[in-house]
Structure 1
């Protein structure tokens, strides 16, 4: 099991909260001062140098014009589609002003970003299109503001290093759709830097801003705009799509299960308890019981995608209080290897297609968080738990043969497997029964072991699976042994009294799959975090709780 770190003291939490409040107040004052300065200089589309005949070509769009009154017929071009094929054509783009650089009073460069793609825009004073006041207005737009830019596409003679698109837009019109605060708590370019880049700069005598984890979580909206985070979330989307499509093609049915239940679904203490209409209830630790009941309802093969809640006390890089669970349950004919076959084919196909379809996203992630592509075999390696234990013992690692592997043992075994078999993705099966949930089927030849398996990526567990107990009497005795009140799961146990097929399944955490596929060091990179609760970072969009890291 993971070694648990102590909870921070109440006094420490109060000091941290007070410090954070003071920091926020200081930032607010800076923003107010900068906004007042900008307003006083008359940069918000109002000329202070006299009437400007080109004033219609720039300025802040009034709110009344942004209230969806009518369709103008204008067509916006996406930044990602800007190529040399559009040379000399006039285009209209909308995006964020990522960088703004003035060159004297008659020229300025803006880099505009949309969904991770960037293009360089050039303003040059010209009698018919661009005035000096327009250049001044553009250079005073705050970074991360939304702007509309209209202009002609040109192809520069040399490569553009600071933008993804190798064309420029010669600006004719620029209007601000929505202004960002003049002073940002973190700059996106700072948040996008890799540790390698920062260390190289230090060696050269230059100090770059390093944005730490707490700051990223406190200003997650800005942090999510980095190319790496854009890539991570798009990779998550692809994993979900590939998971669904593969299983649908294998004749699985997608279901949804309750997330508010009467009792624990896994056993143990890692459960969120609450009161519902004066009765005790829990947030579901797993859809396990309900997906098995679906199998008893003759669905044959089911899967689901949904939130899973764990009241984790482990402060590690991989534990989440809420994560996206990808769960599978299926009838088996003879052996739970049939479930492992699905795991094998599903993930090999998923890895293949991620590498094929997500090259841009993987490149963006690797630029900030360098990693080597995952090594995996066409036919996934399978080792028994006993074989894994023997490999560890041969390497001088002491392991309880009937206990679970701790994090360090898993990592060492991962390295040993990579050295011997050339893969970072493998299945370890036939686990000791004592370390598996109550619904796991014991081995027929030795009840100290179970018909179960775990799957590993880069030396860390991502999947737990097994054949399930489908005999109600055995389920009851196993539940009692694991400290579960049988009354709270009586409906589940009763579902096996009316004839149940042999079945098995598995569950995998979406965030952990992507984290390990990209060799990221923290699952927090894959969550949406907005606010805090009792000093711990909690997710309130899509996710309720934080990574405790």
Structure 2
């Protein structure tokens, strides 16, 4: 039997009849380290070929890689080229159980608040966000695009008296960005809701939603968090309840005072986001905060201008560890103003007529936001690359496996 088993390649699937025997001392680097199997019969269910790397090597902790130089980390592209083997590590299994929990907590929270789950089309007639970062495809005798977000359809659902809606679905961005936090396809957690008196109703609900997710992961996934922190040590997320809300102008002031000048009416760069995140952490002791009142010029055409200062807008971003994870706003619900803003952004009105027409039949004030699932998880876990939280990542250089 020993000879037979020794000849089997790693990752071969076996069925074993055995006696479970206790051990006098723990065995390191195993998922079960207090018992072993005393085999009586061994059956091969599925024989593996020799894998490109072992699950054990793929599971080596960052600490061990630093302490023992003879360990060589497996390159990320090698892992992704052989994603099935890579996903077998305890850490990866834990990451995607956490991802499932984020979706469950998102859905449970919003259903408890009276939201309806919807499923919007992903093949659309025009770029939903405007601009060129959209995938164009042949569509019978014409052309169509992959949705950059469910934005327009969420709003049309509000026009149709749905009151509160959410969606979990794929989002496509044709951005040639080969960074640690960008994907060309990711999972969006989107919501939209009526506003009764003030758009901060949306901000407050979103803040409550994030706190629910953070606490839910701590309570439901303690085991998975421990497994992940063994291979990729990270500091537990610090957050306040209710969350910290800063005006965009306050953020610009903090950057200027720290010696990082920026145009007060332009969007934050990635570098400014990270610096501001550190400044906020030092001053307010939180990794999660909300930045409100963005400049109107930095936002999509359907964003509601601020009624008291037209240079700004009723819009906001939410940040984790110095990086944006949600972008949202109060939306324009007046068809004439919407048409005016679309033209200003050089969007072909004929391509979005059905969207603009939705607001001609009466629509309540409303707002919402879109969350990037993979980015939330990456930042919550303090990971260095979004590809670690995407099951089969898609970026400008990768469409397989």
TM-score by length of 2: 0.97
Report the CA distance between 1:195 and its aligned residue.
3.3
The DSSP-based 3-state class of the residue aligned with 1:379 is: coil
Tell me, yes or no, if structure 1 residue 323 matches structure 2 residue 186: yes
The DSSP-based 3-state class of the residue aligned with 2:360 is: coil
Assess if the C-alpha contact under 8 Å between 1:529 and 1:537 holds in 2: no
Report the CA distance between 1:389 and its aligned residue.
0.5
Name the CA distance, whole Å, in 1 between partners of 2:130 and 2:227: 41
Report the CA distance between 1:161 and its aligned residue.
2.4
User: Which among 344, 354, 363 is matched to residue 491 of structure 1?
Assistant: 354
Residue matched to 1:506: 369
Report the CA distance between 1:357 and its aligned residue.
1.3
Residue matched to 1:158: 25
Tell me, yes or no, if structure 1 residue 538 matches structure 2 residue 399: yes
| Superimposed CA distance per residue, residues 32-60 of structure 1 (whole angstroms, 9 cap, x where no aligned partner) | xxxxxxxxxxxxxxxxxxxxxxxxxxxxx
Name the CA distance, whole Å, in 1 between partners of 2:150 and 2:267: 23
The structure, 1 or 2, with the larger RCO (C-alpha pairs under 8 Å, 6+ apart) is 2
Assess if the C-alpha contact under 8 Å between 2:81 and 2:400 holds in 1: no
Tell me, yes or no, if structure 1 residue 172 matches structure 2 residue 40: yes
User: Which among 125, 129, 132 is matched to residue 266 of structure 1?
Assistant: 129
Report the CA distance between 1:324 and its aligned residue.
0.2
Residue matched to 1:64: none
Name the CA distance, whole Å, in 2 between partners of 1:209 and 1:175: 34
The change in CA–CA distance for 1:222 and 1:338 in structure 2 (over 3 A counts) is same
Name the CA distance, whole Å, in 1 between partners of 2:283 and 2:4: 63
Name the CA distance, whole Å, in 2 between partners of 1:328 and 1:465: 9
Gaps of 5+ in 1: 1-133, 541-549
Name the CA distance, whole Å, in 1 between partners of 2:264 and 2:194: 30
The DSSP-based 3-state class of the residue aligned with 1:209 is: coil
The change in CA–CA distance for 1:199 and 1:162 in structure 2 (over 3 A counts) is closer
User: Which among 224, 231, 247 is matched to residue 361 of structure 1?
Assistant: 224
Residue matched to 2:175: 312
User: Which among 193, 200, 209 is matched to residue 337 of structure 1?
Assistant: 200
The DSSP-based 3-state class of the residue aligned with 1:176 is: strand
Name the CA distance, whole Å, in 2 between partners of 1:389 and 1:506: 22
Name the CA distance, whole Å, in 2 between partners of 1:503 and 1:524: 34
Name the CA distance, whole Å, in 1 between partners of 2:23 and 2:61: 29
Report the CA distance between 1:240 and its aligned residue.
0.4
Report the CA distance between 1:352 and its aligned residue.
0.7
The DSSP-based 3-state class of the residue aligned with 1:537 is: coil
Tell me, yes or no, if structure 1 residue 284 matches structure 2 residue 150: no
Report the CA distance between 1:365 and its aligned residue.
1.4
Residue matched to 1:460: 323
RMSD: 1.4
The change in CA–CA distance for 1:293 and 1:371 in structure 2 (over 3 A counts) is same
Residue matched to 1:119: none
The DSSP-based 3-state class of the residue aligned with 2:387 is: helix
Report the CA distance between 1:154 and its aligned residue.
2.2
Name the CA distance, whole Å, in 1 between partners of 2:241 and 2:7: 56
| Superimposed CA distance per residue, residues 521-548 of structure 1 (whole angstroms, 9 cap, x where no aligned partner) | 1111122339x99x811256xxxxxxxx
Residue matched to 1:192: 59
Assess if the C-alpha contact under 8 Å between 2:291 and 2:318 holds in 1: yes
Name the CA distance, whole Å, in 2 between partners of 1:309 and 1:319: 11
Name the CA distance, whole Å, in 1 between partners of 2:270 and 2:100: 28
Name the CA distance, whole Å, in 1 between partners of 2:376 and 2:174: 20
TM-score by length of 1: 0.71
User: Which among 312, 329, 332 is matched to residue 469 of structure 1?
Assistant: 332
Gaps of 5+ in 2: none
Larger Cα Rg: Structure 1 or Structure 2? 1
The DSSP-based 3-state class of the residue aligned with 2:102 is: helix
Residue pairs, 1:66-85, within 5 angstroms: none
Name the CA distance, whole Å, in 1 between partners of 2:36 and 2:64: 27
